[in-house]
Amino acid sequence: MGTRRILFLPRTSLSRDILSGRARATLESLGEVVWNETDHDLTAEELAALLPGADAVVTSWGSPAFTPELLSSADRLRIVGHAAGSVKHLMPKEGYDRGIVVLSAAAVIADSVAEYTLWAMLSTQRDLYRYETLMKRDRRWSKSQGYAHELYHKRIGIVSASMVGRRVIGLLKPFHCDIAVYDPYLSDAEASALGVRRVELMALFAESDIVSVHAPVTPETRELIGPAHFQAMRDGALFINTARAWIVDQVAMKAELASGRIRAVLDVFDKEPLPEADALRDLDNVFLTPHVSGHTTESRMRLVEAVADDMARFFSGEALRLAVTWDRLRIMA
């Protein structure tokens, strides 16, 4: 077969954020690497010209999706590693049928989203952002906001035991929370192993001090959370969404938040960037961030490392950590 050939597709400006020296060395130890030395995303036509003789491809944001037409040029392709988020768009069924292995580095991003979620729970329980506003914007020294709350022993509702959801559950262990999960794909045995209770979605909203959404975007999750769920929440309860706005009835959420009865930390929106005139910007009980929960310097720099390490396992015949099957794609984010 000759020298193993690996295509690296991310443009140079993106590579500065996601390609560490260790990742580069690992890839180069696996064979001849053809680097994208331009600062533009390769077109499908450019990729088709490079695919003959390639054994592996590293993709990321901006890389073209594989199509049956592209795959006709991939005479030796065995593995594709996506150093970014969702791989739902990346490989058609024809590629899986040919035995091409698809890797996803989404688990790396999941670590950052879970860390953000824990921060949201801790900071909001203490109302820290209110004090920050008082001291900086209002130039006041006041403890009149009332007593803050601990995260310890709180009732936490997790919507979906996804990659992020499971990491949040793990981070909550030291706080001895009572964790309930809504996930129709979670078995009783898996719930027991995670140390959580399986509940229906309405019960989760009604009984939780904090509800955190980690469900994927699928046809089944479109506006999964609606008016009745928000109305069932306890006074003062916290709603966190770091998944997608797709999952939430936005009109119902905004109406309940406008009442001031519940609080929220939101990182995702139905329109991004969030319009300047959006009513959410005027609510003191809502903390907003611009879709950054998974965006950290460290997590981005680990993306290609994770893919390169799993490619090394693949070529050594070892068990893979990032492989995504065709069947799993249906319920993934």
From first to last of the 333 residues of the chain, give the pLDDT tens digit: 469 999 999 999 999 999 999 999 999 999 999 999 999 999 999 999 999 999 999 999 999 999 999 999 999 999 999 999 999 999 999 999 999 999 999 999 999 999 999 999 999 999 888 888 889 989 999 886 677 899 999 999 999 999 999 999 999 999 999 999 999 999 999 999 999 999 999 999 999 999 999 999 999 999 999 999 999 999 999 999 999 999 999 999 999 999 999 999 999 999 999 999 999 999 999 999 999 999 999 999 999 999 999 999 999 999 999 999 999 988 887
Contact in structure between 226 and 252 (CB atoms under 8 Å): yes
Q: Is 139 considered catalytic here?
A: no
The angle subtended at Cα 119 by Cα 113 and Cα 125, nearest 5°, is 135
Please give the span between the terminal C-alpha atoms of the chain, in angstroms, as a whole number: 37
CA 85 – CA 290 distance, rounded (Å): 17
**Do β-strands 210-213 and 197-198 pair in parallel, antiparallel, or remain unpaired?**
unpaired
Pick the CATH number of 109-288 from 3.90.930.12, 3.30.365.10, 3.40.47.10, 3.40.50.720: 3.40.50.720
CATH topology match: 5-104+297-329 vs 109-288: yes
Which ranges of 163-249 would DSSP assign to H, the alpha helix?
A: 163-172, 188-194, 201-207, 227-232
What's residue 330's pLDDT?
Answer: 83
192 CB-near residues (< 8 Å, 6+ apart)? none
Of these residues, 167, 244, 300, 302, which one is catalytic? 244
Distance (Å) of CA 329 to CA 15, 90, 103, 295, 332:
26, 11, 12, 23, 5
Q: Is residue 220 among the annotated active site residues?
A: no
Predicted pLDDT of residue 144: 67
Nearest Cα neighbor of 280 from 83, 11, 270 is 270
- CB–CB of 82/103 below 8 Å? yes
Q: Where are the domains of the chain?
A: 5-104+297-329, 109-288
CATH tag for 5-104+297-329 (out of 3.30.9.10, 1.10.10.10, 3.40.50.720, 2.40.10.10): 3.40.50.720
Q: Which of 132, 220, 223, 272 is catalytic?
A: 272
pLDDT in the model for residue 145:
64
How far apart are the C-alpha atoms of 96 and 326, rounded to whole Å? 7
pTM: 0.94
Residues 6+ apart with CB under 8 A from 176: 152, 153
CA angle (234 as vertex; 145, 253 as ends), nearest 5: 90
| Calpha distance 180→186 (Å, rounded) | 12
Does the active-site annotation cover 132?
no
